Structure 1
Amino acid sequence: MRASPVPALAGGTLLAIAVILTALNLRSAVTSVAPLLGDMQQDLAVSAAWAGVLTTLPVLCFAAAGLAAPRLATHLGLGRAISCSLVMITVGLAVRALDGPALVLGASLVACAGIALVNVLIPVVIKGSFPAKIGLMTGIYTAALQGGAAIGSALTPGLEQPLGGWRPALAIWAALAVTALVVWVLAARRHGATWVQAQVSETRRSLLRNRLAWTVTLFFGSQSFMAYIVMGWLPQVFIDAGVPKLQAGIIVGMSALIGVPIALVIAPLAARKRSQSAWIVGLSTVGVIGAVGAMAAPASHPLIWSIAIGVGQSVFALALTVIALRTKTTGETVQLSGMAQGFGYLIASAGPLFFGLLHELTHRWTASWILFLAVCTVQIVTGALAGRNRYV
């Protein structure tokens, strides 16, 4: 059954604000943990294996919950599904700071599951409520998401001492989730039952046998595969090359921030074109140059290599844009978003593992970077195909 069209201004300013506030929660909840991980291990008396599980939870949740999101949206309606997800994020962030190791893991699992559901459903909101502004809203959403990641990583360490420890420094991020929840509920109520029904009208045919759907999925998965390598290992690559630890952290932070202006500018421009392939190939090629530089001479120009890699990683905004542009209805967008992000994040979960394993086996970073470049080639090919003006 085809979904009925939603007016271009159905979302309005309030819904746009709700999308932005929601996006700010989708990475800050994760990146706020990394700077405090050492203090958490010491206070909770846990092993490095426990820390590894905690840092791996997000990407595994993104995969599992991503596959479940379409069914949840169909049964609850899009507005209620996102509201429930924001409740999960709020509760998880607040509760994870209350007790011992088991509760931290359990509450983090709840929060990450909520984040994963929203990851899949927000592109559907953009497709259904801003059909004439898909590129612009996707760019704004992506910029807010990346900005939230930077804010979570940068602000949390400074909150630890004035708030009295890592627990309140982590718990305070629940306030941002509550704010997003309140604004989202107010925005969703304006649409009523008609808006919910239009967004989640079920498409009966499966996309699992659709070649274009798998192309989009491989494009999203290869991009995410490299993104988690960059977040997890790029600082260590520079540190091993002799770059001071603080400088390495700042340099890699630049690679994330560079994606904000690119998302705001490139995504809207690309969405206006019949094909997004040239933009995808162009940005990805810059990323290849950065990766080759980081592999061959990491200490010579680390800032240049990091920024170039960040430009390549900014193709994430186009990956989300493509999900909306390659579908004709919001029902299809739900399906394609769930498939691309569910299987895509499952692919991504192997990235940091194999990148680190190759380094451990060879005691050098060369083999790891060869893997990175091979996956980057997959991204370029699948991105060029996914960017063409076709529909699933």
Structure 2
Amino acid sequence: MAGEDAVAPDAGAAAGRRPGAKGHTALVGSGLLLIGVALAAANMRPAVTSLASVLGEIRSSLGQSTTWASVLTTVPTLCFGLAGVAAPFLARRLGLARGIGLALAVLAVGLTVRAVDGPSAVLAGTFLACGAIALCNVLVPVVVKESFPHRMGMATGIYTSAMAAGGALGSALTPRFALWFDGWRLPLATWALLALAALCVWSVAARHDRSAAPAAPSTTPDRQGSLLRSPLAWAITLFFATQALIAYVVMGWLPEVLMAVGHDAATAGLLLAVVMVVGVPMSLLTGPLIARSPTQSWWAAGLGGLAAVGILGLLVAPLWAPLLWALTLGIGMAVFPLALTLISLRTRSSAETARMSAMAQSLGYLIAATGPFLFGLLHDATGDWDVSLLMVLGVLVVQTVLGVIAGRPRYV
């Protein structure tokens, strides 16, 4: 179909034997590799959501200020933006298999370090962990494109579903672990076991096909550095930035908004869990459909509209049908797999996918880091959440327009 053709311009190579970028062979697209991709993706959110779920307890036990907590919560998006720049260089130097394996090892170390000492260790460990996640954020989609060219939609759906499930588990289980172990340190360090499990599977699954001939030197002009001059590349980048901004506003502030209108803390936490968990089936369902669609513009418009319904519901009638608003907002936030899929669909080669992914995620997360700060600043300035929610609606409009533009079938 059209979407499949778009992501496999060199479809004459057999699946699992396709040459990768820079003359290296692709990783063998086996079922075990897909499990490795899913486990790697499951590690990309618990480092953030587990920390947020016990942040108050961490701050109290360490005697730190709200300013320190604000710095700590800013680290993930900044790392996602800054460390992702190094991903294409790391992939060229080490290859995808070793690069992702190294990132998973560093993630396990960072998750352990932040639980062993005081405020400096928490900051340093979070920086290490989120820097490692940033590398996986950029490199894993390249594996999806390169090793599963004819099943890219299915592989992207599994990847994004595992990411959503990992984030939900980190948020839901860490507070329970903290009660069982009477403290936050061991529960935070426990997530290093998931990183080690992913590393073990990845070490076995990530194999290059040695029988496949390396790619012949490309006859097309070298496009290194050209993405910054591509309007489509900027549309994809800003589309990624706006959807990430909204996602981090929702993850960071939705409980506060719900409690301000009369919901108790337990209900507010449950509704946030609904928003996050609904992304699991949505990613599985929409991933293959998005990749096979001849255009992705209608997906961007539809998902943006559903998210807008959820935000409008919170703004106009927050107590009338909160579960409905959570469901529509959660479905609308399934725009994340669309953003990832567009990075692959709009590039011609694995090397170009890596550069597009680095550009979109590095600049995108840096822009997204401003969202939660502005959302809270507007609340402080106005005394309620209405203007803040209107800001989110404005960003949703921009996101939808950018998605419609980026969804038209062509290459950067």
Instruction: Give the distance between the partners of 1:135 and 1:258, measured in 2 at CA.
Output: 18
Of 163, 166, 172 in structure 2, the residue corresponding to residue 154 of structure 1 is 172
Q: Deviations over 1:182-212 (max 9, x none)?
A: 11121223545979x76xx985352110111
What amino acid is the match of 1:317? P
Of 222, 228, 236 in structure 2, the residue corresponding to residue 216 of structure 1 is 236
- 8 Å CA contact 1:359–1:367 kept in 2: the answer is yes
Of 28, 31, 40 in structure 2, the residue corresponding to residue 22 of structure 1 is 40
Of 77, 83, 91 in structure 2, the residue corresponding to residue 73 of structure 1 is 91
Q: Deviations over 1:21-77 (max 9, x none)?
A: 111110012111122212211221111111111111111100001222112212221
Aligned to 1:93: 111
Change (3 A) 1:231 1:185: same
- 8 Å CA contact 2:342–2:407 kept in 1: the answer is yes
Q: Deviations over 1:243-296 (max 9, x none)?
A: 111101101210111111111011211211121111121111011111111111
Of 134, 140, 144 in structure 1, the residue corresponding to residue 158 of structure 2 is 140
3-state SS, counterpart of residue 122 of structure 2: helix
What amino acid is the match of 1:376? L
Which stretch has the larger CA shift, 219-228 or 35-44? 35-44
Give matches, 1:325-344, under 5 Å: 325-344=345-364
What amino acid is the match of 1:331? A
Which stretch has the larger CA shift, 332-341 or 40-49? 40-49
Aligned to 1:40: 58
Of 377, 395, 411 in structure 2, the residue corresponding to residue 375 of structure 1 is 395
- 8 Å CA contact 2:113–2:124 kept in 1: the answer is no
Shift of 1:7: 3.4
Q: RMSD between aligned alpha carbons?
A: 1.9
- 8 Å CA contact 1:258–1:307 kept in 2: the answer is yes
Give matches, 1:262-281, under 5 Å: 262-281=282-301
Shift of 1:165: 2.1
Of 175, 183, 204 in structure 1, the residue corresponding to residue 201 of structure 2 is 183
Of 375, 378, 383 in structure 2, the residue corresponding to residue 358 of structure 1 is 378
* TM-score where L is the length of structure 2: 0.90
Shift of 1:4: 7.3
Aligned to 1:7: 14
Which stretch has the larger CA shift, 203-212 or 137-146? 203-212
Aligned pairs, how many? 388
| Structure 2 alignment gaps of length 5 or more | 1-8, 17-27
Which stretch has the larger CA shift, 204-213 or 106-115? 204-213
Q: Which has the larger helix fraction? A: 1
- 8 Å CA contact 2:105–2:199 kept in 1: the answer is yes
Aligned to 2:131: 113
3-state SS, counterpart of residue 328 of structure 2: helix
Instruction: Give the distance between the partners of 2:262 and 2:211, measured in 1 at CA.
Output: 59
Instruction: Give the distance between the partners of 1:270 and 1:383, measured in 2 at CA.
Output: 13
Shift of 1:236: 0.9
3-state SS, counterpart of residue 162 of structure 1: helix
3-state SS, counterpart of residue 389 of structure 1: coil
Instruction: Give the distance between the partners of 2:299 and 2:255, measured in 1 at CA.
Output: 27
Which stretch has the larger CA shift, 375-384 or 184-193? 184-193
- 8 Å CA contact 1:284–1:311 kept in 2: the answer is no
- 8 Å CA contact 1:35–1:153 kept in 2: the answer is yes
Give identity over the alignment, percent.
49
| Structure 1 alignment gaps of length 5 or more | none
Aligned to 1:130: 148
Aligned to 1:62: 80
Shift of 1:135: 0.8
Change (3 A) 1:106 1:18: same
Aligned to 1:321: 341
Q: Deviations over 1:365-391 (max 9, x none)?
A: 121112111110111111011111111
What amino acid is the match of 1:256? M
Aligned to 1:297: 317
Aligned to 1:52: 70
- 8 Å CA contact 1:89–1:115 kept in 2: the answer is yes
Change (3 A) 1:161 1:251: closer
